[in-house]
Structure 1
Amino acid sequence: MSKKFTKDHEWISLEGDIARIGITDYAQEQLGDVVFVELPEAGREVAQGNDAAVVESVKAASEVYAPVSGEIIEPNVKLEEEPALVNQDPAEGGWFFTMKVSNPDELNDLMDEAAYADYLKELG
């Protein structure tokens, strides 16, 4: 499946009922140099739109929200030692966590790549 996006600039890619979540290139550019991440613990249940992780940069701290509801399976522990991966490769190596999706219908609330690109244009 291709990626879906939230208005809060998270991305989600799905393989079966397992999703990988990260922040978009736009989000990491707005944050600047990422210096710290706080990742969710495996086994934690999160609801769509609720905070799941925290990313801190030289500019600000920001929440990373769950694009869909589910159970955290695996945090990307590489980010604890190398938070700069979020800046270097937000779409691949800089992912935050994987989760088991509990309500696939929530994916319908998200934007596809074209809609997200249009949304970014609206932001100016």
Structure 2
Amino acid sequence: MEFPENLKYTEEHEWVRLEGDNIAYVGITDFAQSELGELVYIEVETVGETLEQGDEFGTVEAVKTTSELYMPVSGTVLEFNSKLDDSEGDDPTLVNSSPYGDGWIVKIELSHPDELEDLMDAEAYQASIA
């Protein structure tokens, strides 16, 4: 199981990767996707919305369950990964095969970058699921 050092993690198993001036990518962790199993659908209807840290921004649906996705930091949802979108690429299993790469879920603009300091680093996240 992977725990990239360049990410910040939440207790709800989302990760965030800062990519320059207040722009970040958000997805679910390798642990989360392995617990859910094969994903069959991902829904994000919050593109263009500004959400607070902890707000629900979408859902992931696996064969046996559906789970909510929560914002790791406050910000505006700029983009839903078109490779996962059922109207475009429609390959939600990218989250299973590449949770930290092609399987990112949303691109956001951070409202409060200081909230990143409240999130776990890779070592703390790994310890939290052990």
> What's the TM-score bracket when you normalise by the shorter of the two chains?
over 0.9
CA distance in 2, matches of 1:48, 1:41: 14
Where does structure 1 lack aligned partners over 5 or more consecutive residues?
A: none
Structure that is richer in helix per residue: 1
TM-score (norm 2): 0.89
1:83 matched to 2:92? The reply is yes
Residue 48 (structure 2) pairs with residue 59 (structure 1): no
Alignment of 1:22-61 (within 5 A): 22-61=27-66
Asked if 1:109 is matched to 2:115, the reply is no
1:22-43 per-residue CA deviation (whole Å, 9 max, x = no partner) reads: 0000000110110000023431
How far apart are 1:13 and its partner, in Å? 0.3
Q: TM-score scaled to structure 1, two decimals?
A: 0.93
Whole-Å separation in 1 of the counterparts to 2:71 and 2:46 = 13
Runs of 4+ in 1 over 6 A off after TM superposition: none
Distance in 2 (CA, whole Å) between partners of 1:41 and 1:105 is 22
CA RMSD of aligned residues (A): 1.2
Q: 1:120 aligns with which of 117, 121, 129?
A: 129
Aligned residues: 121
For the residues of structure 2 that align with 1:45 and 1:3, how far apart are their CA atoms? 22
Are residue 3 (structure 1) and residue 11 (structure 2) matched?
no
Secondary structure at 1:79 match in 2: coil
Distance 1:93 1:39 in 2: 16
Q: Any idea what the Cα deviations from partners look like across 1:77-97, whole Å, max 9, x if unmatched? A: 210210111111111111100
Unmatched runs of 5 consecutive residues or more in structure 2: none
Counting aligned pairs with the same residue, the percent is 45
Match of 1:92 among 98, 101, 109: 101
